[in-house]
Amino acid sequence: MVLADNILQQASDMTFGVWFLIGAALVFFMQAGFAMVETGFTRAKNAGNIIMKNLMDFCIGTVMFVIIGFGLLLGEDAIGLIGKPGFDIFTSYQSFNWSDFVFNLVFCATTATIVSGAMAERTKFISYCVYSAVISGLIYPIEAHWIWGGGWLSNWGFHDFAGSCAIHMVGGISALVGAKILGARIGKFTRGKDGKIKVHAFPGHNLTIGALGCFILWFGWYGFNGAAAKSVDGLASIFLTTTVAPAVATVTCMIFTWIKYGKPDVSMCLNASLAGLVGITAGCDVMDFTGSFIVGIVSGLLVVFGVWLLDYVLHIDDPVGAVAVHMFNGIWGTIAVGLFATGSAPENAISGNLKGLFYGGGFSLLGKQLVGILAVAAWTAVTISIVFLVIKATIGLRASREEEIIGLDATEHGLVSSYADFAPSIEITSATVEHESSIPEPPIAPKVPVEKAVEVESYVAPSSSRISKVVVICKRQKLNTLLSALEAISVTGVTVTNVLGMGMQKGQPEYYRGVEVESNLLPKTKVEVVICKVPVQKVIDTAKAALYTGHIGDGKIFVYPVDEVVKVRTGEVGYDALQDE
């Protein structure tokens, strides 16, 4: 029986040892998620720079963790404050704890990555490399030693299972300090004639990539929270809490933004998913379903509040919401342990049977959590402020105004574009025509005569030229109706371009992350035809009939003379060049 028990114990240890490394691999994969979220939430002209920064986070972090970080985190404890640096990875490789090194390395890289998002689009690349190295080699390892490496907080009873405080709050505070010292992106905040500061929205260029990053992070979080589980039941419970909190946070955020802004905010809901994950990270092992549900509700509201606070009160520019997600919810998640830790969670018996305030534990655990938050926050705020101020005074922290306007892809990395072979296209299908009538026209204004709704400007004198170009600017949803009408009068050679236009109409107010998007430029479609055989007036009348809805902004028609047309293949010119074979 004893032999069988020993065999089972060895098998269990081996299984969880393998899962521990799989969890580390999942956490490493989260680097891709952070890269996608940050890239998608910012502008295309900086995409390559952001990818490069997220790559170097891990690579520079690895070098710094080898040199000094690992020793400071898990070296022999010195008076509860730091681990003693050592080089066992070089001198005693055969007996070195490889698993612990890899696992703690991928966590370390996450902390530096968080800072990147809040300081995106205006930070010098060399400066980023420097402060990323300091975070990975010094700031994170020391406070993480307090919590996980045998330091004073862990010995005192402070609990942060997977890093709400040690990783996310630290990364969020660093992001807040960095964004404040760095300053906002050009044009983010402007002062009006009345002296009030106006907040401007800078929509992310690719929310699809941002959403992919969010799903990658959620997937990787099962390793982030679950890798250190000690039992199958504990692992299953951690998976449950890690699923419930972000789901509830996202639903909460969706309902709140729907009520507040009239429509559910996509990017804010993506942030809310991550906020729920951050919120549950500290107590995922000691909370039950109820605790994780409440954590999710608060996280979903807290992330919206955090974005609003930075924009409208603090006037600190955070392009991706890193501070709202990581700092605010890192603090909340750490506090939540002191409120909702319960003995019914399977891993809690291993963690010391912690009990929060609402489960009969009194204020003891909550007090320890609050002291831990204050200590780690103070350490982080002071050290990262010194780092940023030294960088600013020496090599400079911020890119120049010209570099920021052009984009860091071109100025920092020599990239013309991160999407060199990508160009938008217009897809026209019969299905679009079928469903076009279901697209409602916005009730912008009362009906007006067709002459005002679809204006015509002609630069062609009567009978002065037998070849003319007609340019039609119209609403995108009217494109297929116009093309069908032109085809019916034998006009088949058409050039179509998506454009942005500014006119008298302002459109309906839209919001991005709680900030109204100024609708000076509205999406339009430009249709160009060159005609000779078909009378110009017939084309004008056909276009007006196809586009007219009775509202200002239905479209505009321009008519220009054409001196000559040449068909390249045959060499035909004039009237003959325009005829189909």
Give per-residue pLDDT as tens, 542-556: 999 999 887 777 889
**How high is the pLDDT of residue 416?**
81
∠ CA 290-301-250, rounded to 5°: 70
Q: Which long-range contacts (CB under 8 A, 24 or more apart) does 411-419 make?
A: 412/49, 412/124, 412/125, 413/48, 413/49, 413/52, 413/125, 415/48, 417/44, 417/45, 418/44, 418/47, 418/48, 418/51, 419/44, 419/47
| Residue 558 or residue 509, greater confidence | 558
Does the structure show a pLDDT above 70 at 215? yes
Least confident of 200-204, 223-227, 380-384, 465-469: 465-469
CB 168 within 8 A of CB 107: no
> What pLDDT band is residue 570 in, cutting at 50, 70 and 90?
confident
**How high is the pLDDT of residue 437?**
33
CB 416 within 8 A of CB 200: no
Does the structure show a pLDDT above 70 at 505? no
**How high is the pLDDT of residue 431?**
33
**How high is the pLDDT of residue 515?**
74
Model's pTM, two decimal places? 0.79
- Residue range 230-242, pLDDT digits in tens: 889 999 999 999 9
**Residue 58: which of 25, 91, 93, 88 has the closest Cα?**
25
- Residue range 357-402, pLDDT digits in tens: 999 999 999 999 999 999 999 999 999 999 999 999 999 999 999 9
**Average per-residue pLDDT for the chain:** 88
Q: Give the Cα separation of 519 and 242 in Å (integer).
A: 39
Give the residues across from 472 on adjacent strands. 527, 557
**Residue 225: which of 510, 490, 1, 26 has the closest Cα?**
26
Does the structure show a pLDDT above 60 at 5? no
Does the structure show a pLDDT above 90 at 208? yes
**How high is the pLDDT of residue 461?**
52
Does the structure show a pLDDT above 60 at 3? no
Q: Which long-range contacts (CB under 8 A, 24 or more apart) does 382-390 make?
A: 383/138, 383/139, 384/131, 384/135, 384/139, 384/173, 384/174, 384/177, 384/178, 385/177, 385/181, 387/130, 387/131, 387/134, 387/139, 388/131, 388/177, 388/178, 388/181, 388/182, 389/181
CB 435 within 8 A of CB 516: no
Mean pLDDT confidence for 333-347? 95
Mean pLDDT confidence for 255-269? 95
